[in-house]
Amino acid sequence: MEGLKKKLNGYLKKYVLPKIEKDGFTDISVYGIKQPSESIGYIFIDTEPEIRKVPNQRGRKERLIELFLQDEIEMALSLLGVDFYDYNIQFNKRPLYMLDEEKLPFNEMVTKNERIRTFSQNLNESELKWHTDEQDRIVIPLIESDWKLQLDDELPLKLIKGKEYFIPEGKYHRVIKGRGDLKIKVIFK
């Protein structure tokens, strides 16, 4: 896995970055790779500046760059003898499973099948990354706040105290910081 990551990073730095520097990009790299098992695998790409935005906020240029990068990564995989159909390429979305648990952006109390998570008003907004989870869950805000939940390819939803929000397994999502703390109950399905 590390070998593939290293080779892809080398290809991106040598052949792809020079082609996108004219568009203002200063870096592109592979953050992580999740090998395909029974389903599709994932390759996580970070760009600087980020190109991943809410779909209706991406301009034509950003969409074209994302398509260009997708083609280049598929080309690199083909050259390395890897079937690119086995992978889904994600831009500027970090998977939660790869993060160090000590760096998670919340404090957590655990009971049998639910968790109470508190996100502090003092956390840095950059800690709230796009991610997926490996099982379905229901999120219920426990206090009034103006924090939001955003699922991939959807507009952000204001988190309303007591309302249930369903997040399916494998669906990219993130929390958007508001004022004050956010306290939620997470129930695993």
Total structural domains in the chain? 2
Tell me the CATH number at 84. Answer: 3.30.300
Angstrom distance (rounded) from CA 186 to CA 189: 10
Are 81 and 112 in the same domain?
A: no
CATH code assigned at 107 = 2.60.120.10
> What are phi and psi for residue 133, nearest 5 degrees?
-125, 155
Domain check: are 67 and 144 in the same one?
no
Residue 86 sits in the same domain as residue 114: no
Whole-number Cα distances in Å, 88 to 39, 40, 44: 10, 7, 9
Residues 12, 75, single domain; the answer is yes
Residue 9: give the domain boundaries. 2-92
C-alpha distances out from residue 48 to 21, 45, 128, 165, 170, Å? 10, 10, 17, 32, 25
Question: Shortest CA distance to 58 belongs to which of 84, 20, 91, 19?
Answer: 91
Kindly state whether residues 10 and 75 are assigned to the same domain.
yes
Determine the pLDDT at residue 100.
45
Q: Are residues 85 and 117 in the same domain?
A: no
Same domain, 73 and 109: no
The whole-angstrom distance between residue 79's C-alpha and the CA centroid of its chain comes to 27
- Do 164 and 139 lie in one domain? The reply is yes
- 118 touches 177 (CB < 8 A): no
Domain co-membership, 171 together with 137: yes
pTM for the full predicted model = 0.52
Nearest partner of 44 among 102, 103, 104, 4, judged by Cα? 4
Same domain, 39 and 102: no
Q: pLDDT value at position 84?
A: 84
pLDDT for the residue numbered 19: 93
> Is 181 in contact with 145 (CB distance < 8 Å)?
yes
44 and 118 assigned to the same domain? no
Residue 157, pLDDT score: 95
Amino acid at 23: D
Residue 63 confidence (pLDDT): 80
Closest among 158, 143, 11, 145 to 76, alpha carbons compared: 11
Q: Are residues 33 and 79 in the same domain?
A: yes
pLDDT tens for the chain, residues 1 to 189: 678 889 999 999 999 999 999 988 899 988 878 777 666 788 888 888 877 555 556 677 878 888 899 999 999 999 989 888 888 888 877 654 444 445 678 888 877 667 899 999 998 888 888 888 878 899 999 999 999 999 998 999 999 999 999 999 888 999 999 999 999 999 987
Domain's final residue, options 25, 59, 92:
92
| pLDDT score, position 13 | 93
